[in-house]
Amino acid sequence: MQKILILTGPNLNLLGTREPEIYGTITLQDIEKMCVEYAVKNNQEIDFRQSNHEGFLIDWIQEALKGFDGLVINAAAYTHTSIAIHDALKMLDIPIIEVHISDPETREEFRHHSFITPLAKSVIKGHGAKGYVEALELLHKIV
């Protein structure tokens, strides 16, 4: 059984009410439920976590050094700012899939650069909430 860590960053706990014109009305709990349903059917175990705090995300990435087969990460705004998250991800020898609900390249210019992309096996962006399930599908194939 594949063990997959899914990390989501700041403000994603407000999905469903936060800028619905960009992110839709689906909640983070809905996304987690979709991921669990996919995982159960495909011999995956997921550990789904969200934090608004960079240090927690880094601690969890370090946990992925032991016992996880893949990482799905939507670092949200930290994608564009956090060298610390980049450095933590560099330590992993498991596949990393970067996910974004919207497509950052179609938004403000400061969102066009990702510190995660150079380390990711794949980037899924602009596919809405289903991007998380697409990441699990991809990990199912490559792990």
User: Cβ neighbours of residue 66 under 8 Å, at least 6 residues apart?
Assistant: none
Contact 80, 115 (CB under 8 A): yes
Q: Which of 23, 38, 78, 132 is catalytic?
A: 23
> Is 112 considered catalytic here?
no
Q: Which of 38, 36, 40, 96 is nearest to 65 (CA)?
A: 96
Token pair in block for residue 36: 């669990």
User: Cβ neighbours of residue 95 under 8 Å, at least 6 residues apart?
Assistant: 70, 71, 121, 139, 142, 143
> Is 100 considered catalytic here?
yes
Residue 132: CB atoms within 10 A of its CB come to: 26
Tell me how far apart the alpha carbons of residues 98 and 130 are, in angstroms, rounded to a whole number: 13
Q: Which of 38, 78, 86, 100 is catalytic?
A: 100
Q: Which residues are part of the catalytic machinery?
A: 23, 100
